[in-house]
């Protein structure tokens, strides 16, 4: 039982754990799909803002390069020292400074005239190196140049991202390139507004060779950003250790740049691991609770049941003192009390059987005391029978023959049970002997139903009743008597009913009560009637058939006595 309980508990735990794990992973997959969709949307929006910033830069350059003063500078180079050119120079200086101040991400803005090599800049470059002094490739009319430049800073060994943007200045009408408009751009200022550092863990802009142009990683150093920037080329999307990494091409027409975004979802793998850990902990708690329940079940139920089983084994081996003495507050207490009641009942039954065996032995001993030596008695009676035949006295011979049959029946020669027909024959033999004493003063009338003739009853059960009717009923009345023996069956109830009725002196109610009392357990006093007494007949019925069958006496003074026997109906096999 305990093993079955353990198996059921393990199966329940496995089912619960499997179901919980399945539901958890389904929710994780759904959340991951939603987070991936959101991450793609954020990356798309960030890329669009970068493209928008670069578009604004293009429009500003286009506007600046189309200014009349800038075109004239590209065509003439301000070679003459005149008041007009001085005014034009002052206008250009103000225009350059205005544009540089208007756009915060512009570090330096220069106008260069190719033929004269003259450059106008808003401020000198840091470290004494002018933007105009940088050698840049020659540009055609519609060509743009956007180059990343990485410079080492002295502070914290960090790197600053610089972009060199160059656009051609061409002559009006001929579209011949006469100069260059060059800008030094701060990539961090240009691109930071397009990227939210509250969304992405890492964000970088790289070129097609994997060189880092701009990187945003609030939780890491810049060195780590550069180290992670060029790992994979082209467009891709992937999950790596709980991080969603997406890389897509930017829509900037004159460069091949890519934006790479790395995002850790709100429900990160660390959170999921915590959920898994909590799930495992909950399963462990359930297992511990189940183990404790199994232990309590074994202690409160299985152990008492094993003790009760051991007591039953002892009782089975004959120890009827193996009582249940434990105290339990469950249904086992009632079971133990029932077991104790069963032991008490068994002990009473054993005592009753022993008592009945003692009574049976006592009856057998008493019967032996009243029996003579069978061989001596048979020989003597046979001698008397032959002497009677020699002297031609047939009545004596018939009486002796009847006596022999009675003695054979009383000594068990016919067995313990005989048929009703044979029992009536023994009664007639008995009355044949009594005629020597009473003559025709006593009549015996026997009535039998045909169905009762082959029914069995204990041998010599009715003879003592007939003898008792003669001795105690008819003889004291000193008149002619009649004894009627009636035997019939009650098929519906399965009973054999025997009745012995006489017309003798009868008896009082007190005498009837004395005769119907149960016999005492000790030695009995010899009764006045010959043979076996009425009490012995009652005991014989109880020993053979049990307490459900009995003998009943009905009598009134001066009206005779009727004795009724109620026996089970058993048919003879022959």
β-pair partners for 571: 455
pLDDT given for residue 152 in this prediction: 53
Least confident of 118-122, 373-377, 547-551: 373-377
**pLDDT one-digit tens code per residue, 45-64:** 888 888 888 888 888 888 88
Could you tell me which of 263, 262, 259, 201 has the C-alpha nearest to residue 47?
259
The CATH number assigned to the domain with range 414-568 reads 3.30.565.10
Name the pLDDT band for 270 (thresholds 50, 70, 90): low
Cα–Cα dist 261/44, whole Å: 10
Name the pLDDT band for 222 (thresholds 50, 70, 90): very low
Q: Is the pLDDT at 565 greater than 90, yes or no?
A: yes
pLDDT given for residue 329 in this prediction: 63
Tokens 């003798």: give the residue.
504
Helix (H) or strand (E) holding 446: strand 442-448
Least confident of 123-137, 145-159, 545-559: 145-159
Structure tokens of 19?
């179901």
Q: 260 near 245, Cβ under 8 Å?
A: yes
pLDDT given for residue 488 in this prediction: 94
Could you tell me which of 437, 571, 562 has the C-alpha nearest to residue 500?
562
**pLDDT one-digit tens code per residue, 386-420:** 667 776 677 777 777 777 777 777 766 667 889 99
Phi-psi region of 157 (alpha: psi -120 to 50; beta: other; left: phi over 0): left
Cα–Cα dist 25/415, whole Å: 89
Name the pLDDT band for 514 (thresholds 50, 70, 90): low
Q: What value does the mean pLDDT of the chain take?
A: 78
Q: Is the pLDDT at 218 greater than 70, yes or no?
A: no
**pLDDT one-digit tens code per residue, 247-260:** 888 888 888 888 88
Adjacency order of strands within the sheet including 159-170 = 119-121, 106-113, 177-186, 159-170, 145-152
pLDDT given for residue 103 in this prediction: 81
Q: Which one is predicted more confidently, 270 or 323?
A: 323
**pLDDT one-digit tens code per residue, 482-496:** 999 999 999 999 999
pLDDT given for residue 105 in this prediction: 83
Q: DSSP label at 549? A: -
Name the pLDDT band for 241 (thresholds 50, 70, 90): confident
Q: Is the pLDDT at 225 greater than 50, yes or no?
A: no
Q: 537 near 459, Cβ under 8 Å?
A: no
Average pLDDT over residues 138-156: 69
pLDDT given for residue 517 in this prediction: 46
Cα–Cα dist 570/420, whole Å: 11
Note the helical H segments in 371-495.
Answer: 374-390, 394-410, 420-438, 463-469
Could you tell me which of 241, 237, 240 has the C-alpha nearest to residue 261?
237
Could you tell me which of 472, 433, 436 has the C-alpha nearest to residue 561?
472
Beta-carbon contacts of residue 17 (< 8 Å; ≥ 6 apart): 279, 283
Name the pLDDT band for 379 (thresholds 50, 70, 90): low
Helix (H, G, I), strand (E, B) or coil at 306: helix
Q: Is the pLDDT at 128 greater than 50, yes or no?
A: no
Q: Is the pLDDT at 458 greater than 80, yes or no?
A: yes
Task: List the chain domain ranges.
Answer: 2-263, 414-568
Portion of the chain with pLDDT greater than 90, in percent: 11
Structure tokens of 324?
């249940």
Average pLDDT over residues 550-568: 91
Helix (H, G, I), strand (E, B) or coil at 259: strand
Per DSSP, the residues of 461-486 read: SSHHHHHHHIIIIIGGGTS-EEEEEE
| The model's pTM | 0.45
pLDDT given for residue 526 in this prediction: 33
Q: DSSP label at 299? A: I
Q: Does domain 2-263 have CATH number 3.30.450.20?
A: yes
Could you tell me which of 296, 294, 239 has the C-alpha nearest to residue 264?
239
pLDDT given for residue 226 in this prediction: 39
Structure tokens of 409?
């029946």
pLDDT given for residue 178 in this prediction: 86
CA distances for 132 relative to 85, 114, 120, 364, 476, angstroms: 21, 11, 8, 149, 170
Q: Is the pLDDT at 469 greater than 80, yes or no?
A: yes
Phi-psi region of 173 (alpha: psi -120 to 50; beta: other; left: phi over 0): left
Q: Which of 267-276, 281-290, 359-368 has the highest mean pLDDT?
A: 281-290
Q: What is the gyration radius of the CA atoms in the chain, in angstroms?
A: 66
Angle in degrees, 0-180, between the axes of helices 2-65 and 83-102, rounded to the nearest 10? 170
């Amino acid at each position: 039982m305990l093993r079955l309980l353990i198996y059921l508990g393990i199966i329940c735990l496995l089912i619960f754990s499997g179901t919980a794990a399945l539901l958890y992973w389904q929710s994780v997959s759904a959340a991951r799909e939603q987070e991936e969709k959101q991450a793609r949307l954020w990356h798309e929006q960030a890329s669009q803002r970068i493209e928008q910033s670069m578009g604004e830069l293009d429009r500003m350059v286009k506007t600046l390069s189309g200014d009349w003063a800038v075109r004239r500078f590209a065509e003439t180079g301000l070679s003459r020292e005149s008041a007009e050119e001085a005014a034009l120079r002052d206008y250009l200086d103000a225009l350059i400074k205005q544009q540089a101040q208007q756009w915060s991400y512009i570090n330096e803005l220069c106008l260069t005239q190719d033929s004269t090599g003259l450059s106008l800049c808003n401020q000198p470059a840091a470290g004494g190196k002018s933007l105009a002094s940088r050698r840049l490739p020659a540009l055609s009319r519609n060509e743009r140049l956007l180059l990343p430049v990485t410079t080492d800073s002295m502070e914290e060994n960090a790197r600053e991202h610089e972009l060199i943007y160059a656009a051609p200045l061409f002559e009006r009408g001929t579209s011949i390139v006469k100069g260059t408009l060059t800008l030094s751009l701060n990539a961090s200022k240009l691109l930071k507004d397009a990227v939210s550092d509250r969304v992405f863990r890492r964000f970088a802009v790289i070129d097609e060779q994997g060189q880092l142009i701009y990187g945003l990683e609030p939780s890491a150093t810049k060195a780590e950003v550069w180290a992670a920037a060029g790992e994979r080329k082209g467009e891709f999307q992937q999950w790596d250790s709980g991080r969603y990494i997406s890389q897509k091409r930017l829509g900037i027409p004159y460069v091949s740049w890519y934006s790479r975004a790395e995002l850790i979802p709100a429900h990160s793998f660390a959170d999921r691991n915590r959920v898994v850990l909590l799930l495992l902990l909950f399963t462990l708690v359930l297992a511990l609770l189940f183990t404790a329940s199994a232990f309590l079940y074994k202690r409160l139920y299985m152990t008492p049941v094993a003790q009760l089983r051991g007591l039953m084994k002892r009782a089975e081996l004959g120890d009827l003192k193996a009582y249940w003495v434990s105290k339990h507050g469950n249904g086992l207490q009632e079971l133990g009390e029932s077991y104790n009641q069963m032991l008490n009942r068994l002990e009473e039954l054993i005592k009753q059987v022993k008592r009945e065996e003692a009574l049976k032995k006592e009856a057998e001993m008493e019967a032996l005391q009243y029996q003579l030596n069978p061989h001596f008695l048979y020989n003597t009676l046979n001698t008397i029978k032959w002497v009677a035949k020699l002297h031609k006295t047939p009545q004596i011979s018939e009486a002796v023959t009847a006596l022999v049959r009675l003695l054979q029946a009383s000594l068990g020669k016919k067995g313990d049970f005989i048929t009703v027909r044979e029992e009536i024959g023994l009664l007639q033999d008995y009355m044949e002997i009594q005629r020597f004493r009473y003559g025709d003063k006593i009549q015996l009338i026997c009535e039998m139903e045909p169905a009762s003739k082959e029914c069995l009853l204990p041998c010599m059960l009715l003879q003592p009743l007939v003898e008792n009717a003669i001795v105690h009923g008819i003889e004291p009345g000193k008149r002619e008597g009649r004894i009627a023996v009636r035997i019939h069956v009650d098929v519906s109830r399965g009973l054999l009913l025997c009745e012995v009725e006489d017309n003798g002196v009868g008896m009082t109610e007190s005498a009837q009560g004395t005769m119907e009392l149960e016999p005492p357990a000790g030695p009995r006093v010899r009764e006045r009637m010959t043979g076996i007494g009425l009490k012995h007949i009652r005991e014989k019925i109880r020993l053979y058939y049990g307490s459900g069958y009995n003998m009943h006496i009905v009598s009134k003074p001066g009206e005779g006595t009727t004795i009724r026997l109620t026996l089970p109906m058993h048919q003879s096999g022959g």
